[in-house]
Structure 1
């Protein structure tokens, strides 16, 4: 087996749907990973299944692991090294119960039919199961098919959020607050 095949085997496919995409606040991480060859951009993809995509506190996007609800979601697919994956896991708060990295199936964007379409098995960062149902209810069980500039209006970068309250606590406050 050649070096290229070994490197490819160590890559994980990650579907990004929010702030890691081109033009959004956390894309700088993907640019950094690409520059160190820890990520390769593979293009625009769309989920096979419908999923809820909603915003939580600070206009942070959350994909919720409720297949069959919501819409087919647009995003970007990356091949990511184990080093890149650990950096993405850190950003996404895997150990802090912000998100969970779970399987998802995607196809290259713009494809309507399913014949001759290569389904890619990837992973995505889903809102943690400890608050997903409450987040879905808080959003009126309505989501959107793409986190775009309109949905991102009002997004607050992590460095600009209160430091005296954890993000999980902010999520709890958000889902328990009454709607305006």
Structure 2
């Protein structure tokens, strides 16, 4: 960590999807690491099972339904308030795309040393429908295979909002 002020002003963020290494939005994390506004902590998993599902364009959503789904694997990052604001913007917090809420995680190969962190959950306004639309089956990890077919934000239709795209996905009957 290059910035001395990260200490007690650090947020721990659990990334389970496109912000992970090797995925399209990781460039934001790389930029934050370069400026000293983020650092990689390690690979972690949720303490309890949670649903990890895909929505429109194979966008991943963690749903705030503890004890449903599976333990989800992801990456833990320490971020400064500036880094957190940039991630909040990407995740559409102010637009109702995701909610940043508490989560308990443990290192991938441990079952102790629980960390209290935050994660971006699919918004409660559509979470139940998203869970049902995915057949109430969640993933353990957002892998390259699960992400196959992911469409970058820049390549999605611009004439509708992401929430409209979510609503359309939830009302469609085509297979995942």
Could you tell me the TM-score, scaled by structure 1's length? 0.94
Unaligned runs of 5+ in 1: none
Distance between the aligned counterparts of 1:179 and 1:161, measured in 2?
18
Distance between the aligned counterparts of 1:179 and 1:49, measured in 2?
31
Residue of structure 2 equivalent to 1:49:
48
Unaligned runs of 5+ in 2: none
> Structure 1 stretches (4+) deviating beyond 2 angstroms?
none
Residue of structure 2 equivalent to 1:88:
87
CA contact (8 A) 2:6 2:79 kept: no
1:179, CA displacement in angstroms?
A: 3.5
**What do residues 12-55 of structure 1 show as CA deviations (whole Å, max 9, x unaligned)?**
00000000000000000000000000001001000001000000
**What do residues 34-86 of structure 1 show as CA deviations (whole Å, max 9, x unaligned)?**
00000010010000010000000000000000000000000000000000000
Count of residue correspondences: 173
Give SS of 1:171's match. helix
Give SS of 2:72's match. strand
**What do residues 125-166 of structure 1 show as CA deviations (whole Å, max 9, x unaligned)?**
000000000000000000110000001100000000000000
Root mean square deviation, CA, Å? 1.0
CA contact (8 A) 2:56 2:169 kept: yes
Could you tell me the TM-score, scaled by structure 2's length? 0.96
Residue of structure 1 equivalent to 2:12:
13
Give SS of 2:21's match. coil
